[in-house]
Structure 1
Amino acid sequence: MSSPCTTRSMLQEPTPDIFSSSPPMSSATTASRKPKRPPPITPKRFTRFFTPRNSKAEASRSSLLRAGRQLQDITRSGHNRSNVATRTTPRKTVNFADVENHVHTPSSSSRKRKNLYPSPETSPAQSSPSKRSRYVTPPPTFDVLEDEPEFEEPPVFPLPVRRLRTLGGASRTLQRSFGGILSVGRGFRRDHCTSWQDQTADFYSGTEDLHQLPQGAPPFCTATCNTNSLLAVGGEDGWIHLLDSEGDFSKAHVSWHAHTNAVMDMQFSSDDSYLAAGSGDQTAQIIDVRTQQTLSVLAKHRSSVKQVRFQPGDEKIVATSSRDGVVQIWDLRCKGGQMSSHSAWGSDAPYASVIRTLASAHAENTMPTYTGGASSLTRTTSTGKTETTSRRTDISVTALSFLPEGRQHLLLTASDASTCIKLWDIRGRYSLRGPAIPISTTQHPESHNRHRHFAINSLTLNGNASRIYALSKDNTVYAYSTSHLILGSARELSSTPASKPGHCGVDQPGLGPIYGFRHKNFHAGSFYVKASLRKAHGDKTELLAVGSTDGSPVLFPTDETFLKREARRHDDEAELPSIKPMRPFLSRSSSRFPDTIPIYEQGTALVRGHDAEVTAVSWAQNGSLISVSDDLRVRRWKEGSEARELRLGGESEGKRWMCGWAEMAAGFDDDE
């Protein structure tokens, strides 16, 4: 054990300075002080103290499968390139050099590195573990252009605009369910999802829809009841037959002999209690339908009665027109005197009294000049044209029609001299010394003025009385506008006139027709061809039916939406040179001038039902059509799917025997 002095002396001995350059003081000290060198770096010792990141990645790669290692090598280059530009951490280096002796760490030769795992060319080369790993970016596989490449595009030629095909009923129903014009942009503002063909295609007549009349008595007219399913048929022999449009059509319920000559025209009253019948025996009569008794006899005409009409709202007033050119207004409440006696009825008949007489209703205002012999006359009219005519100067008034209730005091008339319509006020007083002067007269169609005039067989008003349909003998149904009957301010057309007029005789001008209907199967070869209109009711649309000399009734849809659509299609086709335009609306006769108004041929013929001229047509209360013909047949045309079966069934097994159907264009019955 050492003494305290010795211990104190050892603590006070100064520490040798290893940085001093003086020689050592003793041999022991000199032996312990050897120059220190940096420790040799071997792979084993280096791995013990420091493991580079790349080595860790290699270690993790060793645990992956071959497919995983290849996928990792493929995606590593992109990951490294993305990190090079965004790295913000300062680089860390390992320096084992001494302060005095700057000894650099030996770098391993690239020939001694072994690529243990194969990698694609895009994988970066592994660096020495003593240095920071160096990232090698592979060269780009394509050239980077400073400007955008310019490609030569082939010229694009736009396709010609084609009109869309008319949609069928099912397609238009689907289109309207998506909003019509507001959504898809191809609908129509007022679209009932049907075409004009769909409104007429389902009419047919079977063997049970036929009534055969007696031989030698062809039917001339027909009329239907307003409140029930009965209808009346008048024949050449003066008999009237009542049939049922819903029951057994082959037998007549009641038949009676009403006139001594042909029954020319008939009409039921609004409650179907009375039947007015005009005849070729120069008289008309009012018949009680329940008892078939004559209540009033209208006998003051000098020729056959062409038409007879009840006044709407006041059926005690009746108007008749005759071949003598006179229109008579009758009051059934007033009894006529002995002057009204007729040879066919005797003096005991219940004659009615006349309250207005429109003499020479359609005579020309200027008196014509006649030249020639006794058998024929050459007439020079006010327009300068010469016409050959007989000595008979009476112009037959062939058609009558009252305006509906509210303006029932206004009467429309037409004649066999021209296609003009005259408007009368039956409340006024007309002179008996000369021709009666109407309130107004419509203009003739322009094609008639440049050729010749044609007669009008019948006048028909549509449901709201805005259109007047005149069946002309030039094989056309002309449509007139009621508001065009008088030009300018017309208090006569007001539903509430200010006062009752006094003397009438203004004859203001009115406009002519605004459009017309034609069909290849429609010809008005005689005065007996008439027209009738079915008013829209429930699911029944408004249709105009006309007879024809060709033996086929023709149906015309009157909805002007179809007409506007047809006009728009015609205009579109005229603007597109690539589409063949529609043929111009020319008259059927080569001697006539072209029409100056639109003429529509969108009608449907009811074929195979008759073998001779169809004279008169009428609409039953249930919506079926009644047609009479010179073949002594009365036909009932119903609506149903049987029409399509008759069109497609052919002549096999006699399914078409004694039947008729609506004739449609080829391809109409094809499924959509």
Structure 2
Amino acid sequence: MSSPCAPRSMRLQEPTPELFSSPPPASACTRKPRRPPPITPKRFTRFFTPRNSRNVSSCTSLSSSGRQLQDITRSALNRNRATRSTPRKTVNFVDIENQMQTPESSARKRKIAYLSPASSPAQSSPSKRSRYVAPPAFDILEDSPVVDEPVVYPESIRKLKTLGGTSRRLQRSFGGLLGVGRGFRRDHGASWQDQTADFYSTSEDLHELPQGAPPFCTASCNTNSMLAIGDEDGYIHLHDSEADFSKPHLSWKAHSNAIMDVQFSSDDLYLAAGSGDQTAQIVDVRTQQTLSVLAKHKSSVKQVRFQPGDDQIVATSSRDGAVHIWDLRCNGDKTSIHSAWGSDAPYGSVVRTLASAHADSTLPSATSSAIRTPASSKAGNMGRRNDISVTALSFLPEGRQHLLLTASDASTCVKLWDIRGRYSLRGPAIPIATTRHPESHNRHRHFAINSLTLSGDASRLYALSKDNTVYAYSTNHLILGIAPELSSLSSSKQKYCGVGQEGLGPIYGFRHQNFHAGSFYVKASLRKAREDRTEMLAVGSTDGCPVLFPTDETFLKRASQHDDDEADGLPDITSTTRKLSRSLTNIRSPDTIPIYEHGTPLLRGHDAEVTSVSWARNGTLLSVSDDFRVRRWQEGPRARELRRGGEGEGRRWQCGWAATSRGFDDDDE
């Protein structure tokens, strides 16, 4: 162990870390106390300069003591590099500049405080701890400022007036009115007359039946262009709507009395025909053989309908007020024998009966007056109960095919039935629901319904009433409140029916000055939307011309707007409606629902009452009339030529065309 008085050269041979600490106290042999050596530039450069900033040349100029000190402290540098790269009391501006980097771009504003050498205060001495003063936070706008500008709305699209033939053909090439809508609200900007103005019929589209047997009904096939016509003598005539129309394809005698109604099955293999001989029959169209005779009614059969999705179930209605549901897979008993067919006929079996379906015992008592005696009231009640004829039938589409709609000649109410239920035979059957009468009928008297027709999506029910109006009902409002019967997922059979709920009345109606339903033979038919053809309703008329009504409710919304008729180039229907209302003041009370006259009559085609109409699969319209004529109405530009051509050179001989408003055909010039 060396003594305190050892030579100075011997004490410097072994440098230790205590070099940086305070010196030991002066020994007893030293007269003058030893003080810490002053800081000289040489020592400052050697011990306080960061090693990572030294260059190669400085390393070579180190002394032997410096190199030994560097070797001793090298392991400590490697161990503390992750936390501190410089001595405690030094400032490394190079590392600070490396930490100051440009922040990444962001769409949001961020508050950042930066430390820069320029913002640091001047250091009084490098041996003191440096103190940094952070500048206040400030906002950096990385994006351009957003200026609130007023919203500029585009100019509204003006509705087009009546389109010409070229425009209508271009519209059909785009898929019809449904394919050229604009915006969220479908608005094709066309007039309702563009859908009905192109119908015409020439002398080649005419077939005349033998005199003395006017046609009463007609029906079209579902899969081909054939159609069936039933006449007063009980004959059924088959025509091809795409071939020569002057001659029937096939004719045979089906009943001994007038045929009141016909309908094809879904596959067109069977034909159901109801007759005035109180029976109906199912015929094989390929062989014209009778497969089943439906004989349970006590009066003439008014309508016959196949159930959608099951051609083995048939419903018939009669003038006796009953509705029968038949199962063609079951054979009838001996009580089904009819005198017109004998005992060898293949009779069908009834599985459900709606007795006195539209009988209402409260109706005569409600309309009785003080003049009527109790005896006469009771007699009228009994006679009224069995005399209400069920004039119209309609099944709901597949999924809800167990629901049946009926109408009668007693009122404008529609009744809804579930054919799966069991109904009592002792009294009038009670339906699931009954719609309300139109308010105008309640104030005066009730009118009958001739036929029922469903729209393509079954959302609307069109009822042709004898007050010369086609009423539109909402199918979803046939029952008010909770109605599991209307659900397509309902599969549970009811044990007994007879809820008797109430449904809403019609929501609007169609009317035209050329449309009158003077008899129960006037029927309606609906063309479903297919390809470029839109949905359209056709009705017969006592005035001798069929009338077409577009069912697109966009036209109805447009008609309710102020001065919209002039914007669309439509005729002034307000004055026409006012005149018609004045002429019918003594017949019915004012209407409480919207009534539209969006109808187009087909003129010059018939000379007597048009009873039944039907749409062929190719979009042509078939109409039958009491003038013993069957007409085929096609669509094309020939209609405009017939309207404008005049009577010269016999161009209009035995022809018919759609009537339009004045100036409709002048837009193409």
Partner of 1:490: 483
State how far apart, in whole Å, the 2-side matches of 1:317 and 1:408 are.
10
Percentage of identical aligned residues: 74
CA RMSD of aligned residues (A): 3.2
Rg larger in 1 or in 2? Answer: 1
User: Aligned-pair distance for 1:571?
Assistant: 8.6
Decide whether the 8 Å contact of 1:470 with 1:478 is kept in 2. yes
- Are 2:189 and 1:169 aligned? no
User: Aligned-pair distance for 1:169?
Assistant: 3.1
User: Aligned-pair distance for 1:172?
Assistant: 8.9
State how far apart, in whole Å, the 2-side matches of 1:379 and 1:209 are.
53
1:671–1:259 Cα change, 3 Å = same
Decide whether the 8 Å contact of 1:371 with 1:379 is kept in 2. no
Partner of 2:40: none
User: Aligned-pair distance for 1:295?
Assistant: 0.2
Residue of structure 2 aligned with 1:191, choices 143, 168, 187: 187
Residue of structure 1 aligned with 2:506, choices 509, 513, 516: 513
Partner of 1:290: 286
State how far apart, in whole Å, the 2-side matches of 1:644 and 1:388 are.
55
State how far apart, in whole Å, the 1-side matches of 2:382 and 2:559 are.
41
1:187–1:498 Cα change, 3 Å = closer
Decide whether the 8 Å contact of 2:299 with 2:319 is kept in 1. yes
Partner of 1:456: 449
State how far apart, in whole Å, the 1-side matches of 2:508 and 2:563 are.
15
Q: Deviations over 1:29-74 (max 9, x none)?
A: xxxxxxxxxxxxxxxxxxxxxxxxxxxxxxxxxxxxxxxxxxxxxx
Partner of 1:147: none
Decide whether the 8 Å contact of 1:269 with 1:310 is kept in 2. yes
User: Aligned-pair distance for 1:187?
Assistant: 7.9
State how far apart, in whole Å, the 2-side matches of 1:195 and 1:572 are.
10
Decide whether the 8 Å contact of 2:236 with 2:251 is kept in 1. yes
- Are 2:527 and 1:534 aligned? yes
State how far apart, in whole Å, the 1-side matches of 2:344 and 2:582 are.
53
Residues 300-449 of structure 1 correspond to what in structure 2 (within 5 A)? 300-366=296-362, 368=364, 379=377, 393-449=386-442
1:459–1:580 Cα change, 3 Å = closer
Partner of 2:584: 589
User: Aligned-pair distance for 1:580?
Assistant: 12
- Are 2:562 and 1:569 aligned? yes
What amino acid maps onto 2:298 in structure 1?
A: R
Q: Deviations over 1:530-554 (max 9, x none)?
A: 0000000000110000000000000
What amino acid maps onto 1:437 in structure 2?
A: I
Q: Deviations over 1:493-523 (max 9, x none)?
A: 0001152111000110000000000001000
Partner of 2:220: 224
Partner of 2:124: none
- Are 2:256 and 1:263 aligned? no
Q: Deviations over 1:468-487 (max 9, x none)?
A: 00000000000000011000
1:595–1:634 Cα change, 3 Å = same
1:594–1:419 Cα change, 3 Å = same
Decide whether the 8 Å contact of 1:587 with 1:595 is kept in 2. no
Q: What is the DSSP-based 3-state SS (H/G/I as helix, E as strand, rest coil) of the residue aligned with 1:569?
A: coil
State how far apart, in whole Å, the 2-side matches of 1:172 and 1:509 are.
47
- Are 2:603 and 1:607 aligned? yes
State how far apart, in whole Å, the 2-side matches of 1:519 and 1:487 are.
31
User: Aligned-pair distance for 1:603?
Assistant: 0.4
1:603–1:434 Cα change, 3 Å = same
- Are 2:468 and 1:472 aligned? no
Q: Where does structure 1 differ by over 4 angstroms across 4 or more consecutive aligned residues?
A: 163-166, 170-175, 185-188, 367-374, 376-381, 387-392, 570-573, 579-585
Number of aligned residues: 494
State how far apart, in whole Å, the 1-side matches of 2:402 and 2:648 are.
57
Decide whether the 8 Å contact of 1:470 with 1:479 is kept in 2. yes
Decide whether the 8 Å contact of 2:356 with 2:386 is kept in 1. no
Decide whether the 8 Å contact of 1:172 with 1:193 is kept in 2. no
User: Aligned-pair distance for 1:419?
Assistant: 0.2
Q: Deviations over 1:61-100 (max 9, x none)?
A: xxxxxxxxxxxxxxxxxxxxxxxxxxxxxxxxxxxxxxxx
Decide whether the 8 Å contact of 1:378 with 1:389 is kept in 2. no
The structure whose RCO (Cα within 8 Å, separation 6+) is larger is 2
User: Aligned-pair distance for 1:284?
Assistant: 0.2
Q: Deviations over 1:267-307 (max 9, x none)?
A: 00011000000000000000000000000000000000000
Partner of 2:236: 240
What amino acid maps onto 1:237 in structure 2?
A: D
Residue of structure 2 aligned with 1:657, choices 653, 656, 664: 653
User: Aligned-pair distance for 1:393?
Assistant: 3.5
State how far apart, in whole Å, the 2-side matches of 1:262 and 1:372 are.
42
User: Aligned-pair distance for 1:569?
Assistant: 3.5
State how far apart, in whole Å, the 2-side matches of 1:588 and 1:379 are.
33
Partner of 1:210: 206
Residue of structure 2 aligned with 1:622, choices 618, 621, 628: 618
Residues 121-140 of structure 1 correspond to what in structure 2 (within 5 A)? none
User: Aligned-pair distance for 1:414?
Assistant: 0.1
Decide whether the 8 Å contact of 2:433 with 2:500 is kept in 1. yes
Unaligned stretches of 5+ residues in structure 1: 1-162, 176-184, 382-386, 574-578
State how far apart, in whole Å, the 1-side matches of 2:656 and 2:262 are.
26
State how far apart, in whole Å, the 1-side matches of 2:167 and 2:581 are.
33
- Are 2:552 and 1:552 aligned? no
Report which stretch shifted further, 612-621 or 365-374: 365-374
What amino acid maps onto 2:339 in structure 1?
A: S
Decide whether the 8 Å contact of 1:586 with 1:593 is kept in 2. no
TM-score when normalising by structure 1: 0.69
Partner of 1:33: none
1:373–1:452 Cα change, 3 Å = closer
State how far apart, in whole Å, the 1-side matches of 2:561 and 2:183 are.
14
Decide whether the 8 Å contact of 1:371 with 1:377 is kept in 2. no
Decide whether the 8 Å contact of 1:327 with 1:357 is kept in 2. yes
Q: Deviations over 1:596-644 (max 9, x none)?
A: 0000001000000000000000000100000000000000000010000
Partner of 1:277: 273
State how far apart, in whole Å, the 2-side matches of 1:572 and 1:237 are.
47
Partner of 1:48: none
Unaligned stretches of 5+ residues in structure 2: 1-156, 172-180, 567-571
